[in-house]
A and B are shown apart, each in its own frame.
Chain A
Amino acid sequence: MNIHNNTSAVIHNLLTMACVLLLTSCATVQQLDTLNKRMGAFEIAYGETLQIIDRWLTQGMIDDGNKATLQKHIKKIQSARQAFYVAKKVNDFNKAKDSLDIATKSLELMREFIKLKTEQTQGKLHTLNPVVNL
């Protein structure tokens, strides 16, 4: 159990470091923060998260309840992304920025949900149930 807790703590710290690295990369590499750069970073983060969810779904590792919750998060992000691209197309940059903020917040919430569910099942590795409750 201690091993799992230690592993969880290490992973937690490394995840935090990765997030800090992600955020500082925008500040160190670029002189100017633009809407396209921010949206590009968002799309990359979103794509990586979607790939994990898709793989876990394919492997049958997500139960129906968690799947429905994840789909709800994805629908919120989908709406915000669509609003972003529409606003950008008509040069409504304030609306585009607001939509990106909503999409980013929703993605953060979804990743928190995934992390929480993963941590909650730490220490339950030896149960006979083959389905991991995300």
Chain B
Amino acid sequence: MNNTLLALELLNAALAISTKVQDMLQKAASENRDVTDDELIDLKTFNDQLENKILND
């Protein structure tokens, strides 16, 4: 993989972030509620696992 592709991967990640945030906020808005603690914990749990994996690499 070359560096242009690395940069494109970062760009794709930025776009993926934007889309996912929009989805999360729209879902909450359509149900007239806040982002729930359960949704937050799901995201947190996923990130905790990745975080520990990278730190212990």
**Which residues on A are within 8 Å of B, measured CB to CB?**
4, 7-8, 11, 14-15, 18-19, 21-22, 25-26, 29-32, 34, 36-37, 39-41, 43-54, 56-57, 59, 61, 67, 70-71, 74-75, 77-78, 81, 85, 111, 114-115, 118-119, 121-122, 124-125, 132, 134
Q: Which residues from B are CB-within-8-Å of A53?
A: 54
Q: Is the CB of B14 within 8 A of A37?
A: no
Contact pattern, B 24-57, Cβ under 8 Å of A = 1, otherwise 0: 1110110000111101100110110011011101
Kindly state the separation between the CA atoms of A50 and B50 in the bound complex, as whole angstroms. Answer: 7
Of the four ranges (under 10, 10 to 19, 20 to 34, 35 or more), the interface on chain B belongs to 35 or more
Q: Is the CB of B13 within 8 A of A48?
A: yes
Q: Which residues from A are CB-within-8-Å of B15?
A: 18
Q: In the complex, what's the smallest C-beta–C-beta distance from B26 to chain A, in angstroms?
A: 6
**Which residues on B are within 8 Å of A, measured CB to CB?**
1-4, 6-11, 13-18, 20-22, 24-26, 28-29, 34-37, 39-40, 43-44, 46-47, 50-51, 53-55, 57
Q: Would you give 7 A-B contacts (Cβ < 8 Å), ordered by A?
A: A4-B4, A37-B25, A40-B39, A70-B54, A74-B55, A132-B3, A132-B6
Chain A residues touching B, majority SS: helix
Q: In the complex, what's the smallest C-beta–C-beta distance from A62 to chain B, in angstroms?
A: 10
Closest 4 CB pairs of A and B: A18-B14, A43-B43, A36-B35, A50-B50
Q: Which of B2, B14, B21 contacts A125 (CB 8 A)?
A: B2
Query: Given contacts A26-B25, A40-B43, are A14 and B1 in contact (CB under 8 A)?
Result: no
Kindly state the separation between the CA atoms of A119 and B13 in the bound complex, as whole angstroms. Answer: 16
